[in-house]
């Protein structure tokens, strides 16, 4: 009888309090609802501000309307939003179906989508003031990623000239070679000549090349200096010279 009573109590508790509900689904729905509410509030705020500016109907007001934007790097991407780190703040960028996305890559602008955004992308976001910690984006512009090229300086013997491509070998270890590319921006200098050209180079010249090296190891020269004479290296003291110096003392 006691066992039956306990079972009845447990069953009544379970049916009265469904503890086995999908709490994770509820939490997700609540989060989406919260984001949607924030977006609606921001829309109302923006619409009010735009209405006031348009009502003033001045050139300054129209300029202010598209002035607000931020620049930074994407640090996190969420379901319908992402975070941008500017030089001073971390800003939450909210998006909706009216948000536009474009890519700038040196040519014509390309239309992209939210799914094309990646962490570490450099972006400009229009519609958000620089002082805001969050905002609804009207336009997101993704900029090309910066390539950080390594600087390199080499000194050796010019062994080959093929158009604007040079091969320089190590001054002592001839099996170590560097490929150097000369461009219109490369400054070439030679003793007795302020502005030398590619035509002044000849196989056997001693060259100092300074520039940036790409992933393939090719050095794009920013500066070339034709060194006069031959490199003799650092003279080493010989036992006889050391003995003579000691005896003189």
Q: Which tens digits make up the pLDDT trace of 76-89?
A: 999 899 999 988 88
Identify whether 232 is part of a domain. Answer: no
pLDDT for 246 equals 44
Between 213 and 244, the higher pLDDT residue: 213
What's the CATH number where 195 sits? 2.40.50.320
Q: What is the mean pLDDT of residues 217-233?
A: 78
Weakest mean pLDDT among 18-27, 40-49, 90-99: 18-27
Q: What's the domain count of the chain?
A: 2
Please answer whether residues 108 and 87 qualify as being in contact, where contact means their C-beta atoms are separated by less than 8 angstroms. no
Residue 140 has pLDDT above 50, yes or no: yes
CA distance 160 to 168: 7
> Angle CA(118)–CA(124)–CA(128) in degrees, nearest 5?
115
Identify whether 180 is part of a domain. Answer: yes
Residue ending a domain, among 86, 113, 143, is: 143
> 139 and 86 in one domain?
yes
> 171 and 223 in one domain?
yes
Q: Which range marks the domain in which residue 191 is found?
A: 150-227
Q: Phi and psi (nearest 5°) for 233?
A: 80, -170
Identify whether 7 is part of a domain. Answer: no
Whether the full predicted model's pTM is greater than 0.85, yes or no, is no
What's the CATH number where 95 sits? 2.40.50.140
CA distance 210 to 226: 12
Between 228 and 24, the higher pLDDT residue: 228
pLDDT for 59 equals 52
> 128 and 95 in one domain?
yes
> Angle CA(225)–CA(229)–CA(234) in degrees, nearest 5?
95
Q: What is the mean pLDDT of residues 136-165?
A: 86
Residue 41 has pLDDT above 80, yes or no: no
| Secondary structure of residue 82 in the 3-state scheme | strand
| Secondary structure of residue 166 in the 3-state scheme | strand
| DSSP code of residue 244 | H
Q: What is the mean pLDDT of residues 229-234?
A: 50
Identify whether 26 is part of a domain. Answer: no
> 189 and 155 in one domain?
yes
CA distance 160 to 181: 12
> Which H, E and C letters describe 113-141, residue by residue?
CHHHCCCCCEEEEECCCCCCCEEECCEEE
> Which H, E and C letters describe 200-218, residue by residue?
HCCCCCEEEEEEEECCCCC
> 205 and 156 in one domain?
yes
């Amino acid at each position: 009888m006691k066992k039956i009573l306990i079972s009845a109590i447990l069953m009544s508790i379970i049916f009265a309090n469904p503890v086995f509900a999908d709490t994770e689904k509820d939490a997700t729905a609540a989060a989406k609802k919260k984001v949607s509410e924030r977006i609606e509030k921001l829309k109302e705020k923006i619409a009010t501000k735009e209405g006031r500016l348009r009502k003033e109907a001045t050139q300054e007001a129209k300029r202010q309307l598209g002035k607000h934007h931020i620049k930074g790097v994407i640090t996190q991407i969420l379901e319908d939003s992402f975070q941008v780190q500017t030089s001073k703040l971390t800003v939450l960028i909210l998006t909706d179906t009216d948000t536009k996305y474009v890519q700038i890559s040196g040519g014509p602008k390309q239309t992209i989508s939210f799914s094309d955004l990646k962490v570490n992308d450099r972006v400009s976001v229009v519609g958000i003031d620089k002082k805001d910690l969050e905002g609804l984006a009207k336009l997101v512009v993704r900029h090309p990623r910066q390539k950080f090229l390594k600087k390199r300086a080499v000194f050796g013997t010019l062994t080959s000239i093929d158009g604007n491509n040079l091969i320089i070998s190590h001054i002592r270890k001839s099996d170590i070679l560097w490929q150097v590319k000369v461009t219109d921006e490369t400054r070439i200098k030679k003793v007795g000549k302020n502005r030398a050209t590619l035509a002044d180079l000849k196989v056997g010249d001693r060259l100092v090349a300074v520039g940036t090296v790409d992933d393939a190891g090719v050095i794009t020269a920013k500066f070339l200096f034709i060194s006069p004479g031959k490199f003799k290296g650092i003279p080493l003291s010989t036992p006889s010279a050391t003995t003579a110096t000691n005896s003189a003392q």
